[in-house]
Amino acid sequence: MEKIAVLDSGGQYCHLIARKVRELGVYAEILPIEASPARLRAYKGVIISGGPSSVFDEDSPQARPGLYRISKPILGICYGHQLMAQAMKGVVEQGKTQEFGRADIRVRSAEPLFRGLPKKQRVWMSHGDHVAQPPAGFQVLADTPGCSVAAMGDLQRNYYGFQFHPEVVHTKFGSEILKNFVVGVCGCRQDWHPEDRVEQLIARIRKDAHGRRVLFFMSGGVDSTVAYALTVRALGTETVHGIYVDTGFMREGETEQIEAAFQKLGLGHLQTFKAAGQFFKGLQGVTDPEQKRAIIGQAFVDIQDEIVEREEHTGHDWLLGQGTIYPDTIESGGKGQAAVIKTHHNRVQRIQELIAEGRILEPLAEFYKDEVRVLGRALGLPKALVDRHPFPGPALAIRCICSALAEKPEADEEIDALARRSGYRAFLLPLRSVGVQGDSRSYAKLTVLWGGELDYKKLLPLATEITNRYRRTNRIVALIGRKRIQPGEWKIRRATLTRPRVKLLQAADHIVTDFLRSEGLYGKIWQAPVVLLPFSRGGGETVALRPITSVDGMTAEVARLNPQRVLELAARISKLEGVDAVMYDLSHKPPSTIEWE
């Protein structure tokens, strides 16, 4: 089988590159960036991924010196583009400003990677450093107003570099560009398909289980259900024990829906374990997002131990099954050089210990969400389950924002001046959220825009410009339904995870889900997280809406829902007792993550 090697520089998009190549029908494998040149000669071509490092860092990931002597086509993306330029004596400069989000490139030479494509096209950027001058033998293939070498190529040796990310869905012709490389330049046959992995996965589960029983924690979501279905298919219902843990942070009515759905699936008995009291007790008084995730992950493991002891399974050798997918591991820094974007609850310390002991079974750990859906369909799972919106394992606990301090909004003259040019006002909230900028984690303050209409043509470019210019903020929201606000009258109050706050969030989330279904929007967007934050004028809460479009969750764009209908939705939410305001999240990923915590 012909293969493409993707060298991992630690970027958040490394496995997305491999998935995109596989989507073209060409098998791709991930290798460490320091893979030996001798090994790479077995591949039809090599792609060097982006990464969180700068080529100017002393400890930045480096390829072996012999990489550029293997006589195979090579494509460098983002950091890989800069690394290639530096290694071959081009000029790389540190950027004074970062460029995150959409950009338009001008194609200066169509051959061979832009063959058959428009001269001007939309791409996705996420970088700080840039190539100022290509190495000898290279020519500039494309540029943008802010990036003179957006693409370069040495057509004699078939070495190419892109400053942008062709692997993400928001690069309009990314698939065609990659196809021009892997099929046109590398000469690969398109003879591989993800559906073919089902039988291989079943064989691997049987091998990894070695006759052991599997205790499988379920969330009712796509990932855990597909992983569970694969494991049952491989080992049978007598060997696999499904446990659904009701943490108290699920959506309104979700436990009953999950129980009913599993009865129809015929995948064995699903035991529901009521654990709300245990989770709320463990999280009492906790405000730090990372600590919340760690406590939730440990609580899941404690419940596993409790269940095993209660059911007297201690005489058996057990594996813990999880629906972990690849973004969960790479955003936790779980592979190679990857930057830690957030700590996933399936990667807390106790889980890491179980992994080291060989007691974790994760059938989907190398797959992305869209591939998981393909596997679910191949297994015959119902459409309503396979196409369900993603829902985080820690559930609403990470959408209920906490604060250890009572704080006032912060004036920011620079950002406010920028907002005024577009007809808005702005201030910062000292509530920080997680983001990903330049492939690295950022943890920055929230910018609130107010005073104008919900006009995406003005707001989205403004949001991108703010986050490109100022690293002190990575998430932009618009206050909707209020024309005027006096920031000095509002404040962040001390708040932790309490049952009343979670109940209010469940009610707001239910209203949003009903709205999406009634408007025929549920199947058209990727996800619509609803976030509760303790920002108010009268001691209540603010609800933030986060509807986004995506394919795989690695990148995402703001969903542009009808402004008038959004205002009507905000009015419905505002009628809930305790809600003082509603906001609309205007942040793409990057620079923001989908979830706030």
- Cβ(156)–Cβ(68) under 8 Å? no
- Cβ(32)–Cβ(51) under 8 Å? no
The CA distances from residue 558 to 168, 208, 555, 588, in Å, are 15, 40, 10, 6
| Confidence (pLDDT) at 330 | 53
What is the fold, at CATH topology level, of the domain defined by 3-185?
Rossmann fold (3.40.50)
| Confidence (pLDDT) at 342 | 47
User: Would you please indicate which residues are annotated as catalytic (active-site) residues?
Assistant: 78, 165, 167
Question: How far, in Å, CA of 311 to CA of 298, rounded?
Answer: 20
| Confidence (pLDDT) at 405 | 93
The CA distances from residue 138 to 8, 84, 125, 457, in Å, are 24, 11, 21, 38
| Confidence (pLDDT) at 128 | 75
| Confidence (pLDDT) at 12 | 64
Question: How far, in Å, CA of 90 to CA of 136, rounded?
Answer: 7
Token pair for residue 139? 């020519």
The CA distances from residue 495 to 202, 228, 247, 431, 492, in Å, are 46, 36, 20, 12, 9
Spans of the chain below 50 pLDDT = 312, 331, 333-336, 338-343
| Confidence (pLDDT) at 348 | 59
- 194-389: in CATH 3.40.640.10: no
Domain boundaries, the chain: 3-185, 194-389, 413-585
CATH architecture of the domain with residue range 413-585: 2-Layer Sandwich (3.30)
Task: Read off the pTM.
Answer: 0.75
Question: How far, in Å, CA of 448 to CA of 583, rounded?
Answer: 9
Question: How far, in Å, CA of 76 to CA of 85, rounded?
Answer: 9
Is 3-185's fold the same as 194-389's?
Answer: yes
